[in-house]
Chain A
Amino acid sequence: MSAKESSGLLNRKVSKRARALAIPTGLVMASVGPFIKRTAFAQTTVRVTGWTSSGAEYDLFSEVLQDFEAAHPDIKISYEPVPSDYPTKLQTDIAAGTVADVFYVDSMFAPDLMAAGQLLPLDDFMSQSGVSVDDFYPGLIASFQWQGQTYGLPKDWSPLGTVYNQQSLSDVGITAAPATWDDLRAAGQALLDATGEPRIMIAADPARYLAFHYAAGAEVFSADGSQIVINSPQAEQALEFYYGLYRDGIATTPADAGAQWPGDGLAKGLSDIVFEGNWLFPFLQDSAPDLQYGVAELPAGPAGKVTLAFTVSFSAFAGTKVPEAAWTVINYLTGPEGMLKWTSLGLAMPARPGLAEQWLQQYPEREPYLNSGEYARGWQLGVGGQAFYNDAAAEMQALFAGSQDVPTTLQRMQEAAEQRIRLQATPVATPTA
């Protein structure tokens, strides 16, 4: 190519250089060769990425992808999971334009990506394929909608629930999971009196506290979405209760007890009551197979029952070269067949209400999780929500270390939200089901 053309135009010296260049070019051509060959058989490659937290998760997802390939011989999937720091990798890949065609998007981070125009709108594909928004829980799919368009389909979801060690609770005469905040504190006190140790494990983490915040009637946004209203008397009541459990020695934290996270604490016998989602159960199966645990909804607060709904979508990159094939992949993975197989691992629940019955047959003890869909609130706080979350976590850590009191913490969380969250573009967090 260039060597031949240039030799006539340029002097001998340069053409020597051009010949030297031709060698690496040839090598590159040779290495792309196989890929070109593949497209000759009219096979499209779709790159898929996401995070993966365990070997079992990786294996099952690979299996789902193989099922897809078997059903769609014209599409080949290249699965490239990111082992850690997924949001960082995703953002740098987006900036470089080398991001996968189809990837996971966490509900908290979704508004940033949607507002930046980095996700492919799916509505046209959905209507072509006969996929309706109504096939999914409205609160879940709303997390991936922006200005009237849909930018992702939820792959699964999980709320928070109470998981407890049945034996330990019955040892102190408690037969039912705590139904209210008062019950929870009483149960924690009874366990403390019996064992001399705090047996509830909570984390200084807004991703747990916020459920208590809402359950006290506190909010993050005003009803019209125009103001941040984190700091309120109800919030003070919620944080006072949540942090009070720790301050008064009724609850402990993973760091104090020597656990990685509350689920680890339950598995290691360092705690008896934790508030976690479905992801806890495959972990317990592995690390504490003999543990007899009970599952219940989160205890109701002064304003009733609330839990947080965590969800993740499959979305496509706005700049993908293969939008049709990417949609085919998304549609399969979030469709009845792919979703049912994926959720059979028990890490999370199907995002389609139509599959709930079948899933429940496999995991009957987790009915409380499914029931909490009625009052769950989406884990999403608008554009900048993820940045606010990082700041809010730091404030809660300072509170738990005794560096600042409850009113100061709420005041500073309020300031952080005002700085980080882009209000004019913020939808009000919606209940899930």
Chain B
Amino acid sequence: MAVALARPRPSRNPIVAEDRRAGWVFILPAMAIFIVFVFGAILFSFYVSLHNYSLLSRGGAWQIFVHPGRTWVGLDNYRDILSSDDFWLAFRNTAWYALGVVPAQTFFGLVLAVLANRKIRGRTFFRTAFYFPAISSSVVISIIFLWMYSARGPINYVLRELGFPTPRPVWLANPNGIFAMLLHELGIEHVSVWLEGPSVALLSIMMLNVWTTTGTMMVIYLAGLQNIPGDVYEAAAIDGATRFQMFRDITIPMLRPVTAFVVTVGLIGTFQVFDQIWVMSEGGPAKKTTTIAYLVYVEGFRQGRGFGYASAIAVILFLIILALYFMQRRLTAQDYQM
């Protein structure tokens, strides 16, 4: 359905030219802010990643421009990162996080959207209720969940009342991988670190994140659902399709571009997760909730290996997300041409 748009030729009409100039003037403030604080900051961080610079370096950031030779380390930061245990631990944590959260929030987002799209009583209430966590402050929600997950919190209380075991150490204090724990029960010890699975602590934060982002995904899916023409369903109904067949063979295929979008946004969001980690676990216990974005913060701001090193991690994170985006675009190439 792609429409080829002819590139408009610059007009010689003085009125149009005036408009264009006015247009530039209007976007100039926003462009200036974007160039300085977003684009400039990104370039700066790439430049810093090639230097040995920390926030406490004497003379401040100007030094690396004035005397770049003194702090220049080339790709050393990158080499150190790729050979450090901390980075690969953070990579595993982030990967588990994305692997768990993205499918879950996509699935629940779709289910909720389908339910909230039906003509049922109190539809507006449900839509608002499901969307509510997404618009609440993530810091406030995180603090509430800190209490819910605590040893004497409601989650443990319910589990105990129902006769289920509660984890020890308690949820957010438990760095043990869930697959490693399962395998331990089966008598298999010393599994590879790549197969340990997310820690109980990370899983707790993942569940919170699914809960908060599902609402956003629901809203995106709702918009997609309303773009599906009703006559397609009518035709299917005349052909004798059941509700489930319509869902499987019409709704899901018609929503593919939306799903592609939801998964992309979800991947980017999960790979950048920071605030819930910062509030709930500060990367602990035993660094098992330290995501790549949180590692950037720890190394840059918390007396770590400095800003240059942290910037290099940020660049690597950018490259990872970029690679994921292209992979995902390839896999769903036809969806973008709708």
Contacts and interface: CB of A to CB of B under 8 A. Distances in A.
B170 A401 contact: no
Contacts of A258: 150-153, 170
B250 interface: no
Contacts of A397: 173, 175, 284-286
Contact of A116 (B56, B151, B302): B56
A394 B304 CA distance: 14
B151 A91 contact: no
Interface in B249-300: 284-287, 298
Contacts of B302: 87-88, 386-387, 390
Nearest to B282: A390
B16 interface: no
Contacts of B187: none
A395 B170 CA distance: 17
A117 interface: yes
B60 interface: yes
B121 interface: no
Interface stretch (A32-40, A92-100, A151-159): A92-100
- The CB with the most chain A CB atoms within 10 A, among B60, B61, B298, is that of B60
A253 interface: yes
B313 to A, nearest CB: 15
A256 B150 CA distance: 8
Given A116-B56, A387-B304, A394 B287 contact: yes
B298 A116 contact: no
A14 interface: no
B285 A401 contact: yes
Nearest to A204: B285
B233 interface: no
Interface string A78-115: 00000000011001101111000000000001001100
Nearest to A252: B151
B286 A395 contact: yes
Contact of B284 (A87, A92, A394): A394
Contact of B176 (A94, A384, A402): A402
B56 A255 contact: no
Interface in A377-411: 384, 386-387, 390, 393-395, 397-398, 400-403
Q: Which of B61, B286, B304 has the most CB of A within 10 A?
A: B286
B303 A256 contact: no
B298 A255 contact: no
Interface residues of A, number: 33
Chain B interface, DSSP helix/strand/loop, else mixed: loop
A168 B57 CA distance: 53
Given A394-B285, A397-B285, A401-B286, A256 B301 contact: no
B55 interface: yes
B169 A255 contact: yes
Interface in B128-185: 150-153, 168-170, 172-176
Interface residues of B, number: 29
Contacts of A403: 175-176, 286
Given A91-B56, A95-B60, A95-B61, A253 B301 contact: no
A257 B286 contact: no
Nearest to A318: B58
A256 B56 contact: no
B301 A393 contact: no
Nearest to A113: B56
B304 to A, nearest CB: 6
Contact of B170 (A94, A109, A255): A255
A13 B215 CA distance: 51
A118 interface: yes
Contacts of A117: 58
Contacts of A400: 169, 285
A91 B175 contact: no
B269 to A, nearest CB: 23
Interface of B: 54-58, 60-61, 150-153, 168-170, 172-176, 284-287, 298, 301-305
Given A255-B169, A394-B286, 11 more contacts: A92-B55, A118-B58, A255-B170, A256-B169, A256-B173, A387-B304, A394-B287, A397-B284, A398-B285, A401-B175, A402-B176
Interface of A: 87-88, 91-92, 94-97, 109, 112-113, 116-118, 204, 253, 255-258, 384, 386-387, 390, 393-395, 397-398, 400-403
The 7 closest A-B pairs by CB, nearest first: A258-B151, A258-B152, A255-B173, A398-B286, A397-B285, A116-B56, A95-B55
10 contacts: A91-B301, A95-B56, A118-B58, A255-B151, A255-B173, A258-B153, A258-B170, A387-B305, A394-B287, A401-B285
